Structure 1
Amino acid sequence: MSPLDQGRLRRLSEKLLSPQVQVPEPAYSGEVLAKLNAEEVEQTIVDHVPGVRKFLFRDQPGQLSLRFMVSAYQEGWRAFKDTELHNHLLWLMRRIIHHGHEGGADAARHLGDVAEAFRDCQAVQARVVERVGLQLVGVANDFRGQAVRLAG
């Protein structure tokens, strides 16, 4: 291997092991209180997600996804009640809604991803809420964020 290649590999190794590309400790701790009423939650979602009022849970007539999103913000998911995931997901859902309500960066994309997930089962909803919520608190990055961190 040439000295040029060795130097390149050394720099790459140093970069990959540096704190700049390591997953940080969670930037959040503790409970996230529900500071919005049902109407404010609904309006926040409607303002950011075109057509969300027509989204159906699993294509079932009368089962509006928006109603389930408001319920998840207020009370969490029935499927995770009495589990260790309940508060984790509830607090992440609240963070996502608050981020949208406050006009945070990429709020429409984040709320759109969550709204699409609410057309599917609670397991899918939970996975998307966790992914989006952890991105918002800086624990996880999307692909673009990972590439930017890696490139330095």
Structure 2
Amino acid sequence: MNAPNRYELFVLDEGEKLVEITEDTKIPNATTFKIVKEDHTLGNLLRAELLKDSRCLFAGYKVPHPLHPYFLLKVQSDGSVTASKLVTDACQSLLEKLASVEAKFKREFTFMDVDGPAKDVGPYGTVDPAQWEGGKDYLDL
């Protein structure tokens, strides 16, 4: 088959760098980042986070080929900061958001351990048939 081994898609080889930075010579204040062993998930997150920053004029990414495990991220700043600084700030912001999500996730599971599992969980959350007329769920016909 043409597809590489699965582990080659996320394990760095000996001496391989995670990020390669290339300054753009045609566009002012623009840089291209080649991020190795990552895919659309991180590319789209970084692009979206970069576009929230008012100092960023352009942010876009592409995966040149699905069998090659890297993506190219192009960033252009307004000149007040470097594109590398924008990417660093975006990564820091994403890490803070992920830490917040993790804390909320863990908190919800600690509440579940205290309260115990729900008795009757249907497709629309906890269902108490006694609250409906005749003991039927509102979806029972």
TM-score normalized by structure 1?
A: 0.23
Q: Which is richer in strand?
A: 2
Larger Rg: 2
TM-score normalized by structure 2?
A: 0.24
Q: Which is richer in helix?
A: 1
Structure ranking higher on relative contact order (CA contacts 8 Å, 6+ apart): 1
